[in-house]
């Protein structure tokens, strides 16, 4: 970045001020012109136009990124809508006390072995009481 300063020509009244880079800084940054003691207007105009074009390219790139980001909320809203629909189904099952298919299947799998164990315990208890002669 080229430093910008205010200055005046030695041949002009000190109250007359100018603004811009020092010729040495301009020459070091852009390596244009006859020497490092003066800035030609054509060189300063060229650097300014190049900077404007660079900024224009950046603006266009940013506009593309903004357009892309602005299109994302639509996709996110679709995802939110789908999740809300799934949530509504789950809430309806909870309030109607209708078990989900997975839970019903799991209940059968757990219930059958538990029923078998209780039946087995009942049979063992019944045989013991018969052997002991208890009625």
What's the mean pLDDT when you consider all of the chain?
84
Name the pLDDT band for 98 (thresholds 50, 70, 90).
low
Report whether pLDDT(54) > 70.
yes
Ranges of each domain in the chain: 1-39, 44-98, 99-135
pTM: 0.49
Residue keyed to tokens 């809430």: 91
Per DSSP, the three-state class of 46 is: helix
Nearest to 89 by CA among 78, 100, 79, 75: 100
Please tell me the predicted confidence (pLDDT) of residue 115.
64
Report whether pLDDT(84) > 90.
yes
Tell me the percentage of the chain whose pLDDT exceeds 90: 53
Please tell me the predicted confidence (pLDDT) of residue 112.
59
Name the pLDDT band for 107 (thresholds 50, 70, 90).
low
CA separation, residue 114 to residues 28, 84, 104, 110, 121 (Å): 88, 37, 15, 6, 11
């Amino acid at each position: 970045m080229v430093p910008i300063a205010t200055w005046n020509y030695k041949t002009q009244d000190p109250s007359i001020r100018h603004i811009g880079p020092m010729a040495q800084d301009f020459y070091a940054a852009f390596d244009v012109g006859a020497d490092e003691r003066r800035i030609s207007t054509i060189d300063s105009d060229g650097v300014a136009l190049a900077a404007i074009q660079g900024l224009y390219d950046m603006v266009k790139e940013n506009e593309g990124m903004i357009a892309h980001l602005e299109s994302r909320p639509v996709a996110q809203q679709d995802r939110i809508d789908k999740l809300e629909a799934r949530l509504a189904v789950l809430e309806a099952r909870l309030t109607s006390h209708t078990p989900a298919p997975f839970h019903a299947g799991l209940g059968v799998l757990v219930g059958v072995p538990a029923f078998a164990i209780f039946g087995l315990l009942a049979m063992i208890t019944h045989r013991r009481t018969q052997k002991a002669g208890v009625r």
